Amino acid sequence: MRHFEQFGSEPDFTDRYCTLLHAHRGAFQDPDGQYRTRRSLSRDLICDHLKGHQALGLSCATDGNALFMGFDIDARFGPRLNALRSVLSDFGLKGASFATTGSSEGRGKVITCVAASVPLDLVRRVADMTLRYAQLGQDFGPLAKSSDIGVYPLRDEGGLLRILGRNPKRNGSIEIPLRLSDWEISDLTEITPISAIDLERVVQRFAPTHGALPGTLLAEATSCSGRLHHWAILEIQRSWRWGPDGNPGIMRRVIALAFEFKWAFGVVNGEPLFRNTLERIRQNSPALHLPSPNKKRRRNPLTWALTGKNAWRYACEYRFLKSPAAANAPARIVEVYDELIRYVHEAGIRYYAFNMTYARIAELIGKSHQTAWRLVHDAASIGLLVIHEPGTKRERGKKINTVKLGLVGFGDTQESIRARAQGHSSTPPWYSVASRRRVGSSVTPGHTDATDGA
């Protein structure tokens, strides 16, 4: 893809920017850095803004309708961007969203485009839910002050937010749009705005009922977030409802949580935590007291006696089933596959995302480090493993890095294993691609002491 400087001020890009963000009104930055006098915007004025000639804040709402949803991140942009991306993906909003670099190191924005006539209150509610779930991520970090992240639209009038262009008050560089899927520079052609109906579905599926989250449940989920995957945190947080397949669908979700708690906390410590969590979900899921779709039973299945006990027993007695691809694989590859299966089983860890060193793998199979490296990559090439994060091949005098692997079992695919491991550090950091695209100093990782707005 071309560098942003090559298409950032082209007519097609300006048109997409105006259409996606409903850029009809805004205010230019005054010499003191404030945005005050709102005015109608022409295409030429917006083009000047994108070229960095003058800074423009876009109106976030008009006539009670939101024009877009935005998060203005003033510190720890890298890890917080990853956390927000994970939540937006869970909410089904990633395809409507893009990120931008910031006016200085450690800053940036995440923007979600909405269709016309989406009520401001609805978009604001989804924005608050998104931030709240993102804060459960272990890498998100505490907010040093309330201005660390600005959430738009503001509750009353919507507010103003500068998107792209540059901030002359800080002598910032031209800011760059990035795709959430791979952190490559975006020309915004992949963005599909989200509708009011889809946002209502997000609220129905993920919002807690009757304000149940702020107390014990939120604290309990947060305390587990360092060990549980993000999807499990979401399952604990949301209010469950009947699906079209009734009890079997509920049971599959309970079993998935049982496995997660066993892998995260072990058999002894995991059982009481799992039982307590299941009860919390039951209390937060009054819709399950309605008749079930198939047998029309009026009883909530989320009890230890009905589902929890059997789900926990199944998780504890489960044995990994090999992929059919192992039957025709060379013996040397099957050997490393079998040893890794035995290792994760004895260690009681997640088979789809675990850390190893090539030195440890070499020890398990009784081979050299170089051979271990080669066999792992051979196993991945025929579909028995997934390499989430590659380590390095053994070189004389150099330490071997940790490799993050996932085992492909019966009924799994490499794609399904990658999907289950989403939300962990196996996801490439946002700056690993962006920095290679030479998008400027505003994407330098690791800077967290910024205090002013993006």
Residue 130's closest CA among 110, 106, 116, 115? 110
What is the architecture of the domain spanning 324-427?
Orthogonal Bundle (1.10)
Residue 118 has pLDDT above 80, yes or no: yes
Residue 438 has pLDDT above 70, yes or no: no
Question: Where does the pLDDT of residue 216 fall: very low under 50, low under 70, confident under 90, or very high at 90 and above?
Answer: very low
Residue 409 has pLDDT above 60, yes or no: yes
CB atoms within 10 A of CB 20: 20
What pLDDT does 392 receive?
A: 57
Token duo for residue 334: 């099957």
Residue 439 has pLDDT above 50, yes or no: no
Question: Where does the pLDDT of residue 7 fall: very low under 50, low under 70, confident under 90, or very high at 90 and above?
Answer: low
- Residue-range domain boundaries for the chain: 4-200, 213-317, 324-427
Cα distance between residue 395 and residue 217, in whole Å? 49
For tokens 């290679």, what's the residue?
Answer: 436
CB atoms within 10 A of CB 321: 11
Helix axis angle, 196-206 to 120-134, nearest 10°: 40
Cα distance between residue 24 and residue 52, in whole Å? 18
What pLDDT does 194 receive?
A: 95
For tokens 């919002």, what's the residue?
Answer: 207
Are residues 152 and 158 in contact, defined by beta-carbon separation less than 8 angstroms? yes
Residue 222's closest CA among 112, 123, 137? 137
Question: Measured between alpha carbons, how far is residue 375 from residues 161, 361, 380, 393, 400 in Å?
Answer: 52, 10, 9, 12, 16
What pLDDT does 431 receive?
A: 39
Cα distance between residue 332 and residue 322, in whole Å? 16
Residue 124 has pLDDT above 80, yes or no: yes
Q: SS3 for 72?
A: strand
Between CA 449 and CA 454, with CA 452 as vertex, the angle to 5 degrees is: 105
Question: Where does the pLDDT of residue 393 fall: very low under 50, low under 70, confident under 90, or very high at 90 and above?
Answer: low
Cα distance between residue 3 and residue 8, in whole Å? 8
Question: Where does the pLDDT of residue 348 fall: very low under 50, low under 70, confident under 90, or very high at 90 and above?
Answer: low
The fourth-level CATH superfamily of domain 4-200 is HP0184-like (3.90.920.20)
Residue 220: φ, ψ to 5°: -70, -45
Range of lowest pLDDT (64-78, 231-245, 391-405): 391-405
What pLDDT does 106 receive?
A: 84
Which H or E run includes 115? Answer: strand 108-119
CA 233 to chain centre: 12
Residue 57: φ, ψ to 5°: -95, 125
Average pLDDT value over all residues in the chain: 80
**Side chain identity, residue 432:** S
Q: SS3 for 8?
A: coil
Residue 26 has pLDDT above 90, yes or no: yes
- Please give the average per-residue pLDDT across 383-406, as a whole number: 74
- pLDDT higher at 67 or 395: 67
What pLDDT does 145 receive?
A: 64
Are residues 46 and 56 in contact, defined by beta-carbon separation less than 8 angstroms? yes
